[in-house]
Structure 1
Amino acid sequence: MEIFHKHKGEGKIRISHELSEGEKLGTSNRKVRVKKCLDSLGIPCNLDNVPNIAILGAGGGLRAMIALHGTLQELQKHGLLDTIMYLCGVSGSTWCMSYLYKNGDWTEKLQVLEESMCARLSKYTWSVPKATKLLLEAAKDENYSLTEFWAYTVVYGMLHELDKGHLSEQQSASENGNNPYPIYAAVDEQSFSKVTEYSPATWFEFTPHEASFLGYGASVPMEYFGSEYKNGELKKQKEEKNMSYLQGLWGSAIGSKTENEKVIKGCPEGIVKGFPVPTTEPEAGDMEGSLHSEPAGASPGGFSPDTKNKTITENIKGGVGSVVDFARMWQKTTHGLLTWKWGTNNNFLYKCSAFDSTELVKDKVISLVDAGIGINCAFPLVLRPERKVKLILSFDYGPFEPFKALKQTAKYCKENCISFPEIDEKLLLEPDNPSDCYIFRGEGAPTVMHFPLFNRVNCPAYVTEWRIRFTPVRFLYHVGDITKLLQSARLNVLNNKDKILQEIKYIVAHSSKEANS
């Protein structure tokens, strides 16, 4: 099997809407496996007619991370996972993906990986020295923002793991054909504040091969994302961002000042209504040098002066950092709070003459945040015409009414002349008591199957209660609730596996007719 290798040190910007060479190779190798799977399911087709099927995992914090794992495992159980070409995530779903793709053959290890995830998420560990060391190192960079603080405190506190690996290290797992090709979503906050989520200019994507501005067809090799560029030329290479930082960036919904203002205006009585009370308290034995009081939700101002000073003193004595290091980190974090600075990275299109007609090139830095503030299911990324996706399995794990992303995507496609099936709103009249599967078809458009996580089939009479119980802002899950979430996600696949198979058969048959006409 061919493996794609880049020439290290190139770091060139690529201006093209074509897929990267790495993605082309990954999807080409994957197509062979998809064909074999379709043959085994009694859906024979030529290699040229293998349909591109995408899974979209919505955002929703730990709820989304756990639910996506259950979804994938159930698809694998019924022989459907190997029909999937793309796996695209937003926010919490990206946490699941980044965990899986550390394994080159994760599709074959889902049961073992689930056991590992359950053990990790249900045991609370938060090491102050580990988090502090990463924060102090990150604060040495001129582009340090609240994303680093968020990633190494809150997200670390939720995932109970610090991942110092890199997204580019997932290239083998995405090229070998064993797994769907992964796409991680973000949005450019500056563009979002000007043109909203309905413009391709807002959207930014990460793959193991490239980081890209969707609307401009401009990409940079993933290992050079964050390096300094000017007029398309690499000026200063910087170390690739680690996975913990990216998990913080992808899951930083509060990083959008524009969206926060919308929320505040829409919720005059306070936006904390409905925040959960944890069903279990962390055991003292589960704490690894941690702060017992609200470490996962702590903000820079969340530590009391005594606690902060004690923590700093202990870490200085432990050799974690110097007084100067701590002063710099706290000063930059405080400044980030005052300016609400998130996701700051060098703009690789800075003063790029190929785009001199856009305002983007004037900015030396960009601000990337959680794509969930735009559309909480990254339809815009898989709807790129170059990806030729024929069937989209949209799994909604989000905090909003379960049809919001569908309606937003329909508007996005209409405004940008992108083919998308008509969304019949007569089918969407019960957002508080939805069905478990909705199917939308359209001539010349991909078929969309939409699955609300909690519905009248998998938890009848408990839809609202479970939405609150498993709220996305919950920071800790015990094994019992993890099991319930996994089961809810699995039921949505189990109860609709025949419908999914039927849609695949229809698409393959339709593609064969088009090829022979």
Structure 2
Amino acid sequence: MIALQGTLQELQKQGLLDTIMYLCGVSGATWCMSALYKQGDWAEKMETVKQLICDALTKSTWSLPKAMQMLLEAAKDENYSLTDFWAYTIIYGMLHELDKSHLSEHRGAAESGNNPYPIYAAVDERSFCKATEYSPATWFEFTPHEASFLGYRASVPMELFGSEFKKGELKNQKEEKILSYLYGLWGSCIGSKEENERFIIELFHNFFKRKMKTSEPFRATADSSAVDLGRMLAKTSYDILHWKWGTTNNFLYKCSGVQAPELVNDKVVSLVDAGIAINCAYPLVLRPERKVQLILSFDYGPGDPFKTLKQAVTYCKDNCIPFPEVDEKLLEDTENPSDCYIFRGEGAPTVMHFPLFNKVNCPGYVTEWRILFTPVRFLYNEKDIHKLLHTASLNVSNNKDKILEEIKHIVARSRKKAGS
């Protein structure tokens, strides 16, 4: 979230943000994106938006009554899952905000022409377990306009995501999912099931231990009673036992013409953090109809800074999608990478890959900085936020000329083809 903010701020400062058509994100990057698009003209006031995000992460407060109220309300839905619990405890605790607005409300900011078009990723957990990360059937995308199964070219308007469909017809329209829930869905835990299960159980116990000890009341409503609390406790316990995440109504249920019997026979699907598949949004931007010619791949993941790039190569080979050849000899130094790698290919988009920490922006301290700014760190002070923002921005400012060269090269190539 923080690193993407630093990247975008520097792109805007260097006059490069206007060149970007799509802004695609997975996991924590989606939190930055959705925070930006609440500001319709965010591309024109990056300093203001940066301060809003910093203040939210460091100065806002967390309210147990608000979290409890959200959990009790969410548990009334038959599709309550650990995503709800995660969203209204952990994500709320990290972002210090319960955002009840909706992704569809960002349409104006997405259509203005001043901002890149935002695309958010998730994966269908059941498809992932059967088809792996390299199948488009695994991937699910969200935009302010649509929620879509990537592999089936099937979508519904964003405000109908979560509503009940059968045979392609709307049967029961439900209220659109709020952004805080989507934060939890897009940024659900991505480690091993065993470690996360242990973490969730400990959090669950501590959360309610604190509730019993605190004298801080939560606002009661007519339905807010021991029955509501019991329902939520029972459902959360069940979901921990069955490891139930991101459960939502399947809009392809009993839909004809979709060659996926297991999918169309499932009344619900389970959507989780796309980071468990490929921790970068390559499958979204590589949809052929998007005709992307240059990909700026800013990698913020832990560990091997080339893992997502290698996964993208495999994804494209498996699905016959044009992608430049990647010389893996250039990717051998994972502990001390350079700040920019460029891969070109005939009939394929050019890919510029930028590892977050590298021998240019933190020489001699790559490993230390990876440890300091680990993705599982829950709290950042303002000093560290600004340090990370600056580090991410250097990958843009130090490579501005290279990015401009690639843009000019692509424009010249396009003119040459048009002339011939």
- TM-score band w.r.t. shorter chain: over 0.9
**Partner of 2:205 in structure 1?**
301
Q: 1:312 to 1:138 in 2, by over 3 A?
A: farther
CA distance in structure 2 between the aligned counterparts of 1:161 and 1:298, rounded to whole angstroms: 23
In the alignment, is the contact (CA less than 8 A) between 2:189 and 2:196 conserved in 1? no
* Structure 1 residue 303 displacement after superposition: 3.3
Give 3-state SS (helix, strand or coil) of 2:368's partner.
helix
In the alignment, is the contact (CA less than 8 A) between 1:132 and 1:320 conserved in 2? no
Q: 1:490 to 1:319 in 2, by over 3 A?
A: farther
* Structure 1 residue 487 displacement after superposition: 0.6
In the alignment, is the contact (CA less than 8 A) between 1:174 and 1:180 conserved in 2? yes
Task: Give the one of 102, 105, 113 matched to 2:38.
Answer: 102
**Partner of 2:277 in structure 1?**
374
Q: Which deviations, in whole Å up to 9, do the C-alpha atoms of 1:35-77 show, x marking residues without a partner?
A: xxxxxxxxxxxxxxxxxxxxxxxxxxxxxx1111110110111
**Partner of 1:260 in structure 2?**
192
Q: 1:327 to 1:316 in 2, by over 3 A?
A: farther
Give 3-state SS (helix, strand or coil) of 2:253's partner.
coil
CA distance in structure 2 between the aligned counterparts of 1:236 and 1:320, rounded to whole angstroms: 23
CA distance in structure 2 between the aligned counterparts of 1:298 and 1:99, rounded to whole angstroms: 29
* Structure 1 residue 133 displacement after superposition: 1.3
Amino acid in structure 2 at the alignment position of 1:260: S
Amino acid in structure 2 at the alignment position of 1:84: I
Matches within 5 A, 1:263-282: none
Task: Give the one of 137, 159, 172 matched to 2:108.
Answer: 172
Task: Give the one of 473, 486, 493 matched to 2:396.
Answer: 493
Q: Which deviations, in whole Å up to 9, do the C-alpha atoms of 1:427-473 show, x marking residues without a partner?
A: 01110100000000011000000000000000001100000001000
Task: Give the one of 451, 458, 464 matched to 2:354.
Answer: 451
In the alignment, is the contact (CA less than 8 A) between 1:187 and 1:370 conserved in 2? yes
CA distance in structure 1 between the aligned counterparts of 2:207 and 2:196, rounded to whole angstroms: 22
Amino acid in structure 2 at the alignment position of 1:467: R
Q: 1:97 to 1:313 in 2, by over 3 A?
A: closer
RMSD of equivalent CA atoms: 2.0
CA distance in structure 2 between the aligned counterparts of 1:105 and 1:356, rounded to whole angstroms: 42
TM-score by length of 2: 0.96
* Structure 1 residue 99 displacement after superposition: 0.1
* Structure 1 residue 314 displacement after superposition: 3.1
**Partner of 1:396 in structure 2?**
299
Task: Give the one of 72, 86, 109 matched to 2:8.
Answer: 72
Give 3-state SS (helix, strand or coil) of 1:389's partner.
coil
In the alignment, is the contact (CA less than 8 A) between 1:315 and 1:321 conserved in 2? no
* Structure 1 residue 298 displacement after superposition: 6.4
**Partner of 2:59 in structure 1?**
123
**Partner of 2:22 in structure 1?**
86
2:119 equivalent to 1:207 = no
Q: Which deviations, in whole Å up to 9, do the C-alpha atoms of 1:178-204 show, x marking residues without a partner?
A: 100000000000000001101000000
CA distance in structure 2 between the aligned counterparts of 1:127 and 1:297, rounded to whole angstroms: 21
Q: Which deviations, in whole Å up to 9, do the C-alpha atoms of 1:143-187 show, x marking residues without a partner?
A: 000000100110011111111000000011111111000000000
In the alignment, is the contact (CA less than 8 A) between 1:153 and 1:298 conserved in 2? no
In the alignment, is the contact (CA less than 8 A) between 1:403 and 1:431 conserved in 2? yes
* Structure 1 residue 97 displacement after superposition: 0.2
In the alignment, is the contact (CA less than 8 A) between 2:322 and 2:349 conserved in 1? yes
Q: Which deviations, in whole Å up to 9, do the C-alpha atoms of 1:250-289 show, x marking residues without a partner?
A: 00134xxxx725xx6xxxxx899xxxxxxxxxxxxxxxxx
In the alignment, is the contact (CA less than 8 A) between 2:69 and 2:219 conserved in 1? no
In the alignment, is the contact (CA less than 8 A) between 1:154 and 1:297 conserved in 2? no
Give 3-state SS (helix, strand or coil) of 2:151's partner.
coil
2:369 equivalent to 1:466 = yes
CA distance in structure 1 between the aligned counterparts of 2:177 and 2:276, rounded to whole angstroms: 22
**Partner of 1:349 in structure 2?**
252
TM-score by length of 1: 0.78
CA distance in structure 1 between the aligned counterparts of 2:92 and 2:365, rounded to whole angstroms: 31
Give 3-state SS (helix, strand or coil) of 1:366's partner.
strand
The one of the two structures with greater contact order (alpha-carbon pairs below 8 A, sep at least 6) is: 1
**Partner of 1:414 in structure 2?**
317
2:184 equivalent to 1:248 = yes
In the alignment, is the contact (CA less than 8 A) between 2:201 and 2:240 conserved in 1? no
CA distance in structure 2 between the aligned counterparts of 1:311 and 1:95, rounded to whole angstroms: 30
CA distance in structure 1 between the aligned counterparts of 2:301 and 2:72, rounded to whole angstroms: 33
Matches within 5 A, 1:116-195: 116-123=52-59, 125-195=61-131
CA distance in structure 2 between the aligned counterparts of 1:487 and 1:390, rounded to whole angstroms: 28
Aligned residues: 419
Q: 1:412 to 1:128 in 2, by over 3 A?
A: same
Amino acid in structure 1 at the alignment position of 2:158: M
Amino acid in structure 2 at the alignment position of 1:411: T
